[in-house]
Amino acid sequence: MTKILFRDKLDKCVKQWKSDGLTVIGPVQRANISTYAAVDHAAEFDFDLVLPDRSIKDLFFPQSEPMLRYTIKKESINTDECLPPSGPRIIFGARPCDASGMAIDDPLFGWDYKDEYWFQRRNESVIVTIACTKADDFCMCTSLKMAPDSSKGSDILLRPLAGNNGWQVEELTDRGREAFKTISDLLQESADTAASLAVVEKKFDLDACVAWLQNPENFESRFWKEISMRCIGCASCTYLCPTCHCFDIQDEGDTYTGIRRKNWDSCSFALFTMHTSGHNPRSTQSARWRQRIMHKFNYFPGKFSVNSCSGCGRCSRQCPVDMGITETLQEISTLSL
């Protein structure tokens, strides 16, 4: 017997969580793009998506975020720090790759200076992940040594029932247990079996790729030029990536009043690293693509002992020119044989 949340009870759960003061967020289809967004009713959720177009990152690290407001007066400057809108949230129906992506970025936002914007949202969010029963050609969690039911970064893991009428509930953290306590009356003990997990084909040998990347000789390999020749530097891969975290800080306003904002930025852009003098350490698209791959699979794990990739495959799925991490690491796999 396992604890089961039946689908027909979900709307009551949503109501309960909302009356507990939680904002309920989940996968939805909105104007031609699927994303994680706040809902009022369970009917708004779209659990049929392999995964939403946009990653869960948007909820923790928004595309643009005010950091402070300034007002300049004759003799003084007033500044008000802007903290993220506070309030507890439950993200229902995250995919395992998205949930683990957030856990991957925790050490980055926490080393040395603790990013309060990130951690306030992290601490106020319960992530309820639904294991994947279907995958598409771009999914690559298994290549990253993860799985369609990885629990990393999740507070609750749900396993879809074979009858597609509910989920087995695995409570993983105190935060998850707390959020599910208030709906405990809506859960049932039952012997329903879980549906089989999605089969995600392994696309490359990660260890071999990492070894190739760590070899300094390969930094200047012709491979980088060849693989990135068709990259147009649009940054879609970095913006949709759950773990890409690069940002810019820009002021928006006039001489008297305005907002200092933190905006997403991308290592794909030439301006990202350009010096005032015109010198650019990463002056070619191949150097920029190399930086992205090296950062994810060599530099980031060197610092934080985890790859900066959770295998969601959005980089390849959404790339306008059919590139992506999968293709690059597949190629590296063959080079390192």
What are the residues binding other proteins (CB under 8 A)?
A: 70, 72, 76-77, 79, 108-109, 111-113, 115, 216, 219-220, 245-251, 253-256, 258, 260, 265, 267, 272-277, 279, 281-282, 287, 291, 294-295, 298-299, 302-303
Q: What is the DSSP string of 170-220?
A: EE-SHHHHHHHHTTGGG-EEE-PPBPPPP-----S-HHHHHHHHH-GGGGG
Any idea what DSSP says for residue 272?
G
Q: Is 64 helix (H, G, I), strand (E, B) or coil?
A: strand
The gap from C-alpha 220 to its chain's centroid, in whole angstroms, comes to 30
Closest approach of Cβ 318 to other proteins, in Å? 20
- Radius of gyration of the chain from its Cα atoms, rounded to whole angstroms: 22
Phi, psi (rounded to 5 degrees) for 70: -120, 145
Closest approach of Cβ 196 to other proteins, in Å? 39
Amino acid at 91: I
Nearer to other proteins among residue 177 and residue 225 (C-beta): 225
The gap from C-alpha 232 to its chain's centroid, in whole angstroms, comes to 23
Nearer to other proteins among residue 76 and residue 86 (C-beta): 76
Nearer to other proteins among residue 204 and residue 272 (C-beta): 272
Closest approach of Cβ 309 to other proteins, in Å? 15
Closest approach of Cβ 247 to other proteins, in Å? 5
Rounded CA separation 106/304 (Å): 10
Cα atoms in the 13 Å half-sphere on the side-chain side of 311: 28
Nearer to other proteins among residue 250 and residue 334 (C-beta): 250
Closest approach of Cβ 60 to other proteins, in Å? 13
- Is the separation of the CB atoms in 82 and 66 below 8 Å? yes
Rounded CA separation 203/326 (Å): 7
Q: Which two tokens stand for residue 138?
A: 């771009």
Nearer to other proteins among residue 172 and residue 274 (C-beta): 274
Nearer to other proteins among residue 203 and residue 290 (C-beta): 290
Bridge-based pairing state of the strands 64-72 and 166-171: unpaired
CA distances (Å), origin 269, targets 23, 124, 236, 266: 35, 33, 11, 6
Amino acid at 197: L
Closest approach of Cβ 5 to other proteins, in Å? 37
Rounded CA separation 324/203 (Å): 13
Nearer to other proteins among residue 62 and residue 88 (C-beta): 62
Closest approach of Cβ 297 to other proteins, in Å? 11
Rounded CA separation 96/108 (Å): 20
Closest approach of Cβ 128 to other proteins, in Å? 28
What stretches of 11-54 adopt beta strand conformation (E)?
A: 23-30, 33-38
Closest approach of Cβ 266 to other proteins, in Å? 9
Nearer to other proteins among residue 159 and residue 296 (C-beta): 296
Nearer to other proteins among residue 113 and residue 191 (C-beta): 113
